[in-house]
Structure 1
Amino acid sequence: MLRITVTSVFVDDQAKALDFYTDVLGFVKKNDIPLGGGARWLTVVSAADQDGTELLLEPSSHPAVGPYKDALVADGIPAASFGVENVAAEFERLSAAGVKFLQEPTDLGTVTVAVFDDTCGNLIQIASTH
């Protein structure tokens, strides 16, 4: 049986991304392994599930990444989606921490979503089902 152990988002600056994803969003650093040339195998996990799926904060250095990320942002497509218990409460918490939302909490019937800028070149969605 397959299971997701690591997934990734491309980030413009790994140090800045680590600060945002840990200090602002509340994830916990799991791995920080130098790869040479300044790149790192840098992963974070949910504080609530530190043995769960890791999010790799992957450098955006490949030439294809810039146009890919730009196209997603231009079309308003999130690079990742994170589950939360209550989108409205998380929206309030993150807004108070200075996070810029491009979409406020929106009820889509069976799910409520909101979308923010991760400061590293990505749109990120938060979602809760109801």
Structure 2
Amino acid sequence: MIKVAMTGVYVDDVERAHAFYTEVLGFETRLHVDLGDGALFVTVGAPDGVQPDVQLLLEPGEGPIAEPYRAALYEAGLPCIVFAVDDLFAEYERLRGLGVRFPHPPTVQGPLLAAVLDDTVGNLIQLTQPIP
């Protein structure tokens, strides 16, 4: 069996992304390694032992591959990653209260309730909740 261990998201600034993903979204720091010369290796994941074997790598987003990719996704209004939540309306209200911008508020999309937020470091992120 193959399982997801780590996936990455390109960000404008790894430290700012780390702050947003932990302080605002509620992830926990899994790894925070200074590689020298200002380079960092930072991963976050769901808190409280939820998915302990899955990490999100906050990757520097500059460069000839990452920059056009991120810009194209953002300009097209496409999320770079999708997260699941238990109560989308509660999470939407909590995050809006923290100043998070939602270009797309909660809407029904087939069997899901979905919303898209701006992560402040160059990406759109979709939150989803299955509709019972």
Q: Deviations over 1:26-68 (max 9, x none)?
A: 0000101122331211000101326131000001132221111
**Which residue is equivalent to 1:6?**
6
Structure 1 gaps, min length 5: none
Shift in Å at residue 76 of structure 1? 0.7
**Which residue is equivalent to 1:73?**
74
1:119 aligns with 2:120: yes
| C-alpha RMSD over aligned residues | 1.1
**Which residue is equivalent to 2:38?**
38
Structure 2 gaps, min length 5: none
TM-score normalized with structure 2 length: 0.94
**Which residue is equivalent to 1:87?**
88
Q: Which moved more, 1:77-86 or 1:58-67?
A: 58-67
Percent identical across equivalent pairs?
43
Q: CA separation in 2, counterparts of 1:84 and 1:50?
A: 13
Give the match's secondary structure for 2:21: helix
Q: CA separation in 1, counterparts of 2:19 and 2:119?
A: 11
Give the match's secondary structure for 2:34: strand
Give the match's secondary structure for 1:30: strand
Q: CA separation in 2, counterparts of 1:82 and 1:52?
A: 16
TM-score normalized with structure 1 length: 0.95
Q: CA separation in 2, counterparts of 1:35 and 1:59?
A: 13
Contact 1:5 1:53 in 2 (8 A): yes
